[in-house]
């Protein structure tokens, strides 16, 4: 394992975060704070509890997951797309580092940025809404697992995209609607039976449900199913990346 190569890629990507703090950290934190102000404080104070949890506290896991998914995809896709765009990807591919080490460097940095952002949002939420974390270990484990999984997904998007516009299609047109319809602002038990069944086909439901269980011990689906679905998507992304490097899809042309 070429740890020097991994460290070089990782440090380069992390340095980009510190150069763009306003875009990487400040912007998503401010956006999430607006959700806390509007939905948590203003609207939440006029709504009843959900599963014995105040509405403001109930939406915290979903809002953190929203930022985590979007930033994991964005960080990883932009990180690998820019070398493709500038042509420096060929220097990386010809360097004495394996494909596995390249992925570890880029995805590791993207996941680290997302975890840092998630923890900052978690701390910031305390300023607006009181909450508790019933299972802190599992909360952090879900945070890391989700960040790694969707950073791998973002890595695939970055290789697939052949323009800046395509980098935004999947996060904005697919991921964001799935998050909003995945129980961020409500429990799926509040839906009619038919819509509950339809909602279970939304993979984000399992992420938010498992993450909410780590906070309050309540979930829309069993936590074991949430972990299993996340791991299934993780392995699917790993298989996709393996195929990309094996075939050279949009890397060698």
Whether 253 is covered by a domain: the verdict is: no
Please state, in angstroms and rounded to a whole number, the distance separating the CA atoms of residues 40 and 121: 14
What torsion do the CA atoms of 239, 93, 113, 185 make, to the nearest 10 degrees? -40
Instruction: Please tell me what DSSP assigns to residue 46.
Output: G
Instruction: For residue 169, count other CB atoms closer than 10 A to its CB.
Output: 13
**Number of domains the chain contains:** 1
Whether 57 is covered by a domain: the verdict is: yes
Instruction: Provide Rg for the chain, Cα atoms.
Output: 19
Instruction: Please tell me what DSSP assigns to residue 135.
Output: -
Interval 88-133: pLDDT, tens: 888 887 888 888 999 999 999 999 999 999 999 999 988 888 888 9
Whether 200 is covered by a domain: the verdict is: yes
Interval 48-85: pLDDT, tens: 778 888 888 899 999 999 999 999 999 999 999 988 88
Question: Which is more confidently placed, 154 or 26?
Answer: 154
Residue range 203-230: mean pLDDT, rounded:
93
Residue range 39-54: mean pLDDT, rounded:
74
Q: Is 38's pLDDT higher than 90?
A: no
Residue range 190-215: mean pLDDT, rounded:
91
**What domain range includes position 148?**
3-247
Whether 252 is covered by a domain: the verdict is: no
**CA distance to 55, 57, 58, 191, 253, per residue, from 49 (Å):** 6, 9, 8, 16, 55
Closest to 117 in 3D by CA, of 40, 195, 23, 211: 23
- The pTM for the full model equals 0.91
Please state, in angstroms and rounded to a whole number, the distance separating the CA atoms of residues 21 and 116: 12
Please state, in angstroms and rounded to a whole number, the distance separating the CA atoms of residues 22 and 209: 30
Q: Is 212's pLDDT higher than 90?
A: yes
Q: Is 47's pLDDT higher than 80?
A: no
Please state, in angstroms and rounded to a whole number, the distance separating the CA atoms of residues 124 and 128: 8
Whether 137 is covered by a domain: the verdict is: yes
């Amino acid at each position: 394992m070429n740890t020097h190569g991994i460290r070089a890629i990782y440090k380069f990507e992390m340095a980009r975060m510190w150069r763009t703090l306003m875009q990487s950290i400040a912007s998503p934190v401010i956006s999430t704070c607006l959700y806390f102000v509007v939905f948590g404080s203003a609207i939440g104070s006029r709504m009843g509890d959900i599963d014995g949890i105040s509405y403001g506290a109930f939406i915290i896991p979903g809002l953190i997951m929203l930022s985590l998914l979007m930033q994991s995809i964005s960080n990883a896709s932009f990180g690998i797309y820019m070398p493709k765009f500038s042509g420096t990807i060929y220097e990386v591919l010809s360097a004495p580092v394996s494909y596995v080490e390249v992925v570890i460097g880029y995805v590791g940095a993207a996941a680290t940025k997302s975890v840092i952002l998630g923890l900052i949002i978690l701390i910031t939420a305390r300023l607006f809404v009181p909450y508790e974390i019933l299972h802190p270990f599992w909360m952090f484990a879900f945070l890391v697992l989700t960040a790694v999984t969707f950073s791998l997904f973002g890595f695939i998007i970055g290789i697939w995209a052949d323009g800046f516009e395509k980098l935004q299609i999947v996060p904005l047109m697919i991921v964001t609607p799935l998050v909003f319809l995945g129980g961020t602002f409500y429990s799926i038990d509040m839906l009619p039976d038919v819509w509950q069944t339809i909602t279970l086909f939304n993979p984000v439901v399992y992420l938010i449900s498992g993450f909410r269980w780590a906070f309050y011990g309540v979930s829309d689906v069993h936590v074991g199913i949430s972990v299993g679905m996340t791991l299934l998507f993780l392995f699917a992304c790993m298989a996709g990346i393996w195929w990309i490097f094996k075939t050279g899809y949009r890397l060698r042309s």
